[in-house]
Amino acid sequence: MLIALLQAIVSGLAVGSAYALIALGFSITFTTTKTLNFSHGDFVSVGAFIGVSILWLLLGKPINSPLSGVSIANWQHLAAALGSVIVIGCLGILLYFLAVRPFAGKPGMSWVMSTIGFGIILTSLGLAVWGPSQVVVPSPVGDDVIRIAGIGIRPQEILMFVVAVIIMVAIDLTMRRTMVGKAMRAVAHDRRVASLMGINVTAFMVGAFFLSSALAGLSGALIAPIASASLYVGLGIALKGFSGAIVGGLSNPRGCVLGGFALGVLESLVNLWQAQWREIVVFLLVILVLALRPHGLLGQHTVEKV
């Protein structure tokens, strides 16, 4: 029983690191532009496929050919991951100009619809290129399960966790210790004043969307060896990342990351008890948290001056 519990917590932390990356991405765009990318999930799915496509390209194989058993060099894996980070990041810039910029800061939250629309277009294009089937992706660190004290861990899970934590610590340090981070928080606080202080607000907003989307691409590339690449894998991950961000508090990047991890563990524990109730419990929890603490557990409550 204890082993099962520990196992659940460990796998929860692994999948939670993907949620945390997504949650951090949401937090970055929300704090700088007060908007969110509702097609984040599609970015994750497409990110996974961009990675796989780069592998196909580097190996000289046709699209949708099986990859299991093929020997792939480490630099090829690295190139695939970097490629998907950059391509999805650039997609984020496109999204900003097409779907967010025309509506940001205006009443009516039209950006919710336009970003959803962007995602639907992206997915249908993806379906045209890659088709609806799943692609098994080999992990750069091998697929043999490691056993520690009776708990089985896949090497890719460790890799994902480590990479995610490194990235998140790096972003946290940048936000808190550097001038860029300060400028970013200034833009978040009041874009007009930030602009008067000589900060190029548009550049920061574009940067925020690049970074946020790049994180989606990264989590897609990282999770593909665990969950297989599929155009339907992203929505669930992004929704849970979003839930993690909401639970932790969108305005607080650290809260978002913790929320992502917490949600991963919770989901994994519910899974232990009743697999089919997983999503239902998670989302009911989100609704409950919002009803009790509207700005998340660690979010800041802002008072509007009347």
Partner 1 sequence: MRAPHLLMVVAIAGGAALLALLIDNDYYLRILFMMGVYYLCAAGMNVLVGYAGQKSLGQAGLFAAGAYTAALLTTSFDLNPWLALGAAAIAAGACGVLIAWPSLRVRGPYLAMVTLAFGIVVEKLVSEWTEVFGGADGIYGIKSLAIFGTPFGMLQWVWFVIALGVVTHLLLRNLLSGRFGRAFLSLQADEIAAESVGVSVYKYKILAFVIAAVTCGVAGAIVAQQNQYLNSDFISFNLSIFILLLVLFGGAGNQYGPLVGAILLTLIDAQLAKWPSIQHFVYGALLLFSLYLMPNGVAGLIKQLLGSRGHTPSVRSKSKSVVAANFETASDSRHPLLDVDTVSKHFGGVRPAQDVSFRLQWGHVHALIGPNGAGKSTMINMITGVLTPTAGRITFVGQNIGGAESHVICRLGIGRTFQNLRLFAGLSVLENVLLGQHCRMKNGFWASLFALPSSIREEAAAQERAWAILDVVGLTDLAMSAAGSLPYGLQRRVELARALATEPKLLLLDEPAAGLNPQETAELGKLIVKISKLGITILMVEHHMDLVMSISDHVVVLDYGIKIAEGTPSIIQADKRVIEAYLGAEAA
Binding site for partner 1 (CB under 8 A): 30, 35-36, 38, 98-99, 102-103, 107-110, 112-114, 116-125, 127-128, 235, 239, 242-243, 246, 250, 276, 279-280, 283-284, 286-287, 290-291, 294-295, 304-306
Q: Under a CB-based contact definition with an 8 Å cutoff, are residues 225 and 156 in contact?
A: yes
- Return d(Cα 132, Cα 72) in angstroms, integer: 24
Judged on CB neighbours under 10 Å (0-12, 13-18, 19+), 39 is: buried
- Nearest to partner 1 of 159, 263 (CB atom): 263
Smallest distance, Å, CB 58 to partner 1? 28
- If DSSP codes are grouped into helix, strand and coil, which group holds residue 152? strand
- Return d(Cα 143, Cα 181) in angstroms, integer: 38
- Nearest to partner 1 of 113, 197 (CB atom): 113
The 10 Å CB-count burial string (b at 16+, else e) for 176-186 is: eeeeeeebbeb
- Nearest to partner 1 of 17, 39 (CB atom): 39
- Nearest to partner 1 of 11, 35 (CB atom): 35
Smallest distance, Å, CB 296 to partner 1? 9
Tokens of 124: 């249908």
Q: Is the dihedral of CA 214, 57, 157, 42 positive or negative?
A: positive
Smallest distance, Å, CB 64 to partner 1? 16
- Return d(Cα 202, Cα 101) in angstroms, integer: 9
- Nearest to partner 1 of 75, 283 (CB atom): 283
End-to-end CA distance of the chain: 55
Smallest distance, Å, CB 46 to partner 1? 13
**Strand partners for 146:** 153
Smallest distance, Å, CB 44 to partner 1? 16
Smallest distance, Å, CB 126 to partner 1? 10
Q: Under a CB-based contact definition with an 8 Å cutoff, are residues 20 and 244 in contact?
A: yes
Tokens of 71: 């020997």
- Nearest to partner 1 of 36, 164 (CB atom): 36
